[in-house]
Amino acid sequence: MSLKHEIDKNRLPKHVAVIMDGNGRWAKKQGFKRVFGHKKGVDAVRQTIEAAVEIGIEALTLYAFSTENWNRPKYEIDTLMSLLVSSLKKEIGTFQKNNVKLQTIGNIEKLPKKAQRELDETKEKTKNNSKLTLTLALNYGAREEILNATQNISKKIVNNELKIEEIDEKIINSHLYTFNLPNVDFLIRTSGELRISNFLLWQIAYAELYFTEVLWPDFNKEEFYRAIINYQSRERRFGKTSEQIEKRN
Ligand code: IPE
Ligand code: IPE
Ligand code: MG
């Protein structure tokens, strides 16, 4: 039986973020080239989106390409970019059927023109969908995001559109790429690596973290449900004591 039935629909994380890691190692293990792992990883992306929709998650953010990933061999970068284009073309049906709205975070202007065009088209086609907001992090780096926000806030101060005393968490939030998303409740990383790799540093301040040994191409709906059940077993205290939390329930 599916683990799905063990999930409490009243205690879902609003925003789930995923560091999809382990494609290269998955491919190597079977004697294939690294890029084969990326191709297989697309199936895991589809399963994760569908699982999120099935249980009623509102926001899912997937780390697809980091600012640091430009340091990989050119062949691998080119393959990832063309895989992005072909997957968007292929999965538009999945988005429409599941009522998924696509958006991106990161500096998209540095991506190949073809990828930008396909992203723009898919965003446009899915803009009225409302069940799940799917955010792809592309050429995304949390430090770049914070830097970008700092520059934009500073410009407003210089132009007298904002006063220094007015800068608060809300203002900072509204200048991040994730301005329209709630804070991350739950962060999943596959492949056993225990690090954040420059992903959503501000937004994960109070997120629950989940690390699994499963390599990304092996991730699927059941693994997603398993992670959510683990999330639901935790007590989120936000600085309070356990007794204070129990009293409220
Ligand atoms: C994650 O898998 C995909 C991207 C970072 C684009 P990796 O390609 O990092 O796989 P490993 O970590 O080398 O196994
Ligand atoms: C993080 O994975 C980036 C993405 C999943 C897109 P990496 O595989 O690039 O991370 P590091 O470099 O091993 O930390
Ligand atoms: Mg990796």
- What digits encode the pLDDT tens for the residues 102-150? 999 999 999 999 999 999 999 999 999 999 999 999 999 999 999 999 9
Best residue for ligand 1 mutational test, from 20, 23, 35, 40 (most atoms within 8 Å of Cβ): 23
Separation between Cα atoms, residue 88 and residue 182, nearest integer Å: 25
Q: Return the DSSP state at 193.
A: -
pLDDT over 70 at 77, yes or no: yes
Strand, coil or helix: 62: strand
pLDDT of residue 167: 98
pLDDT of residue 113: 98
pLDDT over 80 at 172, yes or no: yes
Q: Which two tokens stand for residue 13?
A: 């994380």
pLDDT of residue 1: 87
CA 115 to chain centre: 18
Catalytic residues: 21, 69
Separation between Cα atoms, residue 58 and residue 63, nearest integer Å: 17
List the domain boundaries for the chain. 3-234
- Share the mean pLDDT of the chain: 97
pLDDT of residue 246: 86
Beta sheet of 208-211, edge-to-edge order = 100-105, 132-140, 59-66, 15-19, 186-189, 208-211
pLDDT over 90 at 18, yes or no: yes
% residues pLDDT > 90 (the chain): 98
pLDDT of residue 248: 65
Model confidence, pTM? 0.97
pLDDT of residue 183: 96
Judge contact between 12 and 56, C-beta under 8 A: yes
Ligand 2 pocket list (CB less than 6 A): 19-21, 63-66, 68-69, 193, 195, 197
pLDDT of residue 247: 76
- What digits encode the pLDDT tens for the residues 219-233? 999 999 999 999 999
Fold of 3-234: Undecaprenyl pyrophosphate synthetase (3.40.1180)
Ligand 3 centroid–CA 192 distance in Å is: 10
Best residue for ligand 1 mutational test, from 21, 65, 67, 198 (most atoms within 8 Å of Cβ): 21
pLDDT over 80 at 249, yes or no: no
| Minimum CA distance residue for ligand 2 atom 13 | 197
Q: What angle do CA 79, 111, 27 make, to 5 degrees?
A: 25
Amino acid at position 111, single letter: L
- What digits encode the pLDDT tens for the residues 29-76? 999 999 999 999 999 999 999 999 999 999 999 999 999 999 999 999
Separation between Cα atoms, residue 121 and residue 115, nearest integer Å: 10
pLDDT over 80 at 208, yes or no: yes
Max CA pair span of the chain: 60
Is ligand 1 within 6 A of the CB of residue 79? no
Nearest to 140 by CA among 190, 102, 178: 178
Judge contact between 182 and 15, C-beta under 8 A: yes
